[in-house]
Structure 1
Amino acid sequence: MSSILKLLATAVASLAFGAVSVQAQDALPDLGGRTIVAVTENAYVPLNFADPKTGEGIGLEYDLFNEIAKRLNAKVDWQLSSWDVMIQAVRDGQFEVGMDGITINEERAELIDFSDPYLTSEQFMLVRADETRFTDAESFAGDPNLLIGAQAGTTNFYVAVYNVLDGEESNPRIKLFDTFGTSVSALQAGDVDTVLMDQTSANGYIGANPGAFKVIGGPLGAEDFGFILTQGSDLLDPINAAIAAIKADGTMEKFQQKWFYEYNAAQ
């Protein structure tokens, strides 16, 4: 489903269930001013990234989780961590909640608890704006000289392996980078030929770099994003209740509008 259709669907839902949402918010747990230690990477436009003007962490996930905390009468202690250690750090209890456009899947769910989904997205191929050598995943796979940039252990990496290439995780056509942002920089510099990302993130990079990028081909699969929590966390049910209320009353729609459309238009 496109982002626009998601927005329309959310708007209809907020009208249809407006009365329910008021009741849901009234019934939300009160965490009594508790401070929640939350972690992200600041490298996933427009979900979480550093404001180029101030260096402050901004993005949809910041707005959403700050809103969750507000409704639960809690505060957020924001921390930063690289993606490759984030899940383990949350599992070990170093942080209580993590977010980085993290796809909900069974393998990760064996290590940590997932919240209910707060966003559904699909994977697309981001390429340079002047790219003409390939037009979709099939034509990309057919040219052995073309390279994909990816961050190890991410959904983007696994979609590259199993949906675009041959299912071999050590395929030399996949160039690994420490952060998502550096893979996009490598694409812009011509060091790789495509980076896979969800449509919302692709929109963010296209909006922030006019004339530099475009999306080609169709979607390569859908994914649900969720917050990760230490297994057995007492925050899981309150966070899920807040997510439901935020979706039901139209607030999630406002966050999507702000970061997927208004932010892009302002760049």
Structure 2
Amino acid sequence: MLFSFVLVSTLAACGGEEESGGDGELQDTYTVASDTSFVPFEFKEDGEYVGFDIDLIHAVADEAGFNIELETTNFDGIIPGLQTGSFDMAVAGIGITEKRKKKIDYSDPYFESGLAIGVQKDNDSIKDIDDLEGKTIATRLGSTSSKYIKENIDNADTNQYEQLDQAYLAVENGSADAILYDAPNVKYYINTTGDKLKVVGDLYKAEDYAIAISKGQEELVKSVDEALQTIKDNGTYDEIYEKWFGEKSE
């Protein structure tokens, strides 16, 4: 009886370890959070989720040898979702910040970005970041640009929106003087939606995007980094980049 009890206990313990996996083992499938309004990185077209980030995360998963299940949420819900374990990873033009590093882990950077100013086409009073002092500025809720406005632009009234199209519409209809947001998105929006807005000023606060990963998954971080490096080395990254942004400049 004693032998049987020890045997059953040992098998139960082994079974528990196998089910939970562990930091040293990759899972078959990971849940990846993204947004749907950050063109051209992630958006919905003809009922499908498309964009630079979507192509990138699929290429990384294929190279690393795991599957992904894509879930969408508002941008400001991504970091909390990673903290609670609702998502394993997230890809949504997520800038690397020291504050976020305390809550989540990051892959190696995969895209260098910065902030750009968009104003109405006939606006000649706003030419650079200094002209935004005391103005109403539209941006995205929970973004690094909202923090930048608070810390660097005096007396600015920040209007934050969950959906980016609301921020651009605010500038177009005059309820905001300008939008300050990630340069690739600002330029893509203006280039694809007609002549209502224009970009002014320089590129501000250069920052890198990375894949966000919930803490405690060291093997996943390592696997993602290795896959990123491989798709950069074998030309896959360049193919994805040129698909969405045109030929890369050296």
Scaled by the length of structure 1, the TM-score of the pair is 0.78
Task: Quote the Cα distance in structure 1 between the aligned partners of 2:185 and 2:73.
Answer: 19
Within 1, Cα distance between the matches of 2:159 and 2:34?
Answer: 23
Please identify which structure carries the higher strand content.
2
Match of 2:142 among 153, 156, 159: 153
1:26 match: none
- 8 A contact 1:203–1:260 mirrored in 2: no
Q: Which residue of 2 aligns with 1:27?
A: none
Q: Deviations over 1:126-183 (max 9, x none)?
A: 1222221211111232xx3x310122331111122223x12xxxx5611121223321
Aligned partners of 2:166, 2:211: CA distance in 1, in Å?
A: 23
CA distance in 2, matches of 1:261, 1:200: 12
Query: Equivalent residue for 1:44?
Result: 38
Aligned identity (percent) is 27
Q: Distance in 2 between matches of 1:192 and 1:136?
A: 16
Aligned pair partner of 1:125 in 90, 93, 117 = 117
Unaligned runs of 5+ in 1: 1-29, 263-267
Counterpart CA distance in 2 for 1:213 and 1:250 is 35
Work out whether 1:240 is the aligned partner of 2:225: yes
Asked whether the equivalents of residues 38 and 185 of structure 2 are also in contact (C-alpha less than 8 Å), the reply is yes
Q: Which residue of 1 aligns with 2:5?
A: none
Distance 2:194 2:243 in 1: 18
- Find the structure with the greater CA-based Rg: 2
AA aligned to 2:179 is V
1:1-58 CA-to-partner distances (Å, cap 9, x unmatched) read xxxxxxxxxxxxxxxxxxxxxxxxxxxxx968x122101111111111111xx13111
* Superposition deviation, residue 249 in structure 1: 2.2
**Letter in structure 1 aligned against 2:127:** T
CA distance in 2, matches of 1:181, 1:84: 15
CA distance in 1: counterparts of 2:84 and 2:160, whole angstroms: 26
What does 1:63-212 correspond to in 2, within 5 Å? 63-141=55-133, 144=134, 146-163=135-152, 165-166=153-154, 173-212=157-196
RMSD (Å) for aligned C-alpha atoms: 1.8
* Greater relative CO (CA pairs within 8 A, separation 6+): 1
> Which letter does structure 2 place at the counterpart of 1:204?
Y
TM-score normalised by L of structure 2: 0.83
Aligned equivalents of 2:242, 2:187: Cα separation in 1: 12
Tell me what 1:252 maps to: 237
